[in-house]
Amino acid sequence: MATIEEALEIERLERDIFRGASTKTQLERTFGGQVAGQALVAAVRTVEPRYQVHSLHGYFLRPGNPQERTVYLVERIRDGRSFCTRRVTGVQDGDAIFTMSASFHVGDAGPTHQDVMPVVKLPDELSDVQFGLSPERLWAMREWEHWDVRPVPQEEVAARDGVVSPQQVWFRYRHALPDDPLFHVCTLAYMSDMTLLGSSKVIHPDEPTQNASLDHAMWFLRPFRADDWLLYDQSSPSASFGRGLTGGKIFNRRGELVAAVVQEGLIRNLRED
């Protein structure tokens, strides 16, 4: 399947118009992480290098066709001394399938604090997810064969007061990536859509549902590398009316909180028809 370099590839058609690559896939719909990642790459291409991405907020409007390329229209909303903002719309066949706002910041000095990383098994103590899976799950994971994904067994996820649906996953890209920090940010935007909605199903494992990402927000807090181990500490604080709210904190192996994610997804019951 596609490497992350292939998945995030875009070409410039005009000053603020880009077209993303269509990659080999077995999915019926374009993977949401790929759309978000390509949209962020398009936004980055319109910003001076001194700015770094600090947040994005995206909405998945329509299912994308993975056999078609997506065109990204970038609007330059604001260019200031410390912050700049871009709005990106992903289009297929004349219809918007994704919209995103991304904010960029020139870092300043200020107070520092963070939550403590939970105590979990290290990735070296966990099995590669590709071992021991059912044939169906193994087929699905072929889509992300370039990623090493190692979930913490559910019975070993530490119980926390008030957290009803927790999930923890270690992940990294299997191959060395370029040193450009912005490439790692765009790579994490791609990866952050993977597994997160699953935290809403932790306490409903036997309920068949239709699942899809609806919106996605990220904050990039500290430098990191996506080809080194990252812990995705996830939970789902609420599910109702066919939607599940999920959130995740992403830590590096040193325990530094590098990113935070919030997503709402569709988890409605399958209809008989």
Active-site hit among 213, 234, 235, 236: 213
Site of tokens 């004349």: 94
Active-site hit among 148, 165, 167, 193: 193
Q: Annotated catalytic, 67?
A: no
Q: Annotated catalytic, 213?
A: yes
Question: CA-to-CA distance for 88 and 31, rounded, in angstroms?
Answer: 17
Longest dimension (CA), the chain: 57
Q: Annotated catalytic, 134?
A: no
Please classify residue 119 by burial: count the beta carbons closer than 10 Å to its beta carbon, then call 0-12 exposed, 13-18 middle and 19+ buried.
exposed
In 3-state terms, what secondary structure has residue 56?
strand
Question: CA-to-CA distance for 51 and 85, rounded, in angstroms?
Answer: 10
Task: Answer yes or no: are the C-beta atoms of 152 and 168 closer than 8 Å.
Answer: yes
Q: Find, among 252, 249, 226, the residue nearest to 173 by Cα.
A: 226
Question: CA-to-CA distance for 139 and 147, rounded, in angstroms?
Answer: 14
Catalytic residue set: 193, 213, 263
